[in-house]
Each structure stands twice: as C-alpha cells, then as structure tokens.
Structure 1
Amino acid sequence: MNEEVHDAAPGAPAEPAGPGPLGLLRTPTGRDEIDARLERLGDVDDLPADEHVAVYEDVHRGLRDALTALDAPPGPRPYENRS
C-alpha cells in the first residue's frame, strides 16, 4: 500500500488561526458611565481567555451600579446632613 502524507491543502493556512477580536460595533448610549463600561468589553480582545471573567465581572458590576443609581432618589437622604 502506498500512502502519501500531505502537509496541508493548497491555499490553506499551515496552522489554524487563533482567537481574535470579534470586531463588534458598539453604539454609544449617550451616557458616559455606560459607554465607558461597554467600551471596557473590548479589553478582552487582548487578554487570554482565563482573564476574561475579571473584565466581564467588572463591567457587570459597573452596569449594575449605574442601574441602581437610577432608582436612588435625588438629593440627600434623610439624616444625611446632620449638624
């Protein structure tokens, strides 16, 4: 039996391409604190996968804090301005 071993098909890359940026477009929300958090998601493009979770948790925490702030009443809370 005559077996030939071929390295790769013509035109195919020698090695599979590694992960890369998704290139997703983010539409600005008009709220600076939210846009900054969403922009932070792009940081994972340059990080190894095991470091993505820290970025996602940071973004989630910031977005949650921004949403919580929307429910806070304007002005000082009772007993906050004690003399």
Structure 2
Amino acid sequence: MNESVPESGVAPEAEAGVPAEDVRDAVESAYDPAAPAPLGVQRVPTGSAEVDAQLDRLGDADHLATDGHLEVYEDVHRGLRDALTALDVRQGPMAPTRHPTAAPQ
C-alpha cells in the first residue's frame, strides 16, 4: 500500500482534525518564489570597522522587496562615500604655508 496514506485510507492531517484545505494553503504559502530571499553572497571583512558596518548593512536588503532596496543602497553608498572622504582629511598637524605675498626663497 502507498506509504503516504495510512491503511484507514484517510490522510494523517484529516485524522488529526486538520482540514485538507488548511494543509494545502500552508504548503502553498510556505514557498513564494516572488518573496524576498537572501542572495547568499558572503561578505569578507575589510579590516575597517566603518566600511564593514556599511557592507553588513547591505544584508538588510535581503529581507526587503525589491522596491525597498534603493533606500538601503543609497544609505550604504552615502556611508562608504563618507568613509572615503574621511581618508582625504589630513591626519596630524597642518603643514606650514607661506604667506601669499612673501618672496620665494
């Protein structure tokens, strides 16, 4: 006899008092190919806590519908741009400058 149907001829869900429609609906709703799903892209630490935090933020898009991705991407772009801009800021004391009217030496 088929192992999926017990000898009583009644599906196990029906024996448990669960209507077949509810079981079918639960199975159909369990997999939605249009639902948001992670891409499974592994992020490797860069060594910069600020950059790593921004890259981790990209994972927030994994659980959003496509129309929600733009906000995350713009936020990450802004954060990475700020991190790069911070690299351009001169570290340490400013170099001495010559007065514009001073004669060259």
Question: Which sections of structure 2, spanning at least 5 residues, go unmatched?
Answer: 1-27, 95-105
Structure with greater Cα Rg: 2
TM-superposed CA distance for 1:20, in Å, is: 1.6
Hey, what's the Cα distance between the residues in 2 that align with 1:17 and 1:24? 19
The residue number in structure 2 matching 1:32 is 49
Normalising to structure 1: TM-score of the pair?
A: 0.68
1:10-63 deviation per Cα after TM superposition (whole angstroms, max 9, x unaligned): xxxx78722421000000001100000000001001111111101000000000
The residue number in structure 1 matching 2:66 is 49
The residue number in structure 2 matching 1:17 is 33
Q: Which amino acid aligns with 1:56?
A: Y
Identity of aligned residues (%): 61
Q: CA RMSD in A?
A: 1.9
Whether 2:41 is the aligned partner of 1:58: answer no
Question: Which sections of structure 1, spanning at least 5 residues, go unmatched?
Answer: 1-13, 78-83
Hey, what's the Cα distance between the residues in 1 that align with 2:93 and 2:84? 18
Q: How many residues align structurally?
A: 64
Whether 2:77 is the aligned partner of 1:73: answer no
Please identify which structure carries the higher helix content.
Answer: 2
Normalising to structure 2: TM-score of the pair?
A: 0.54
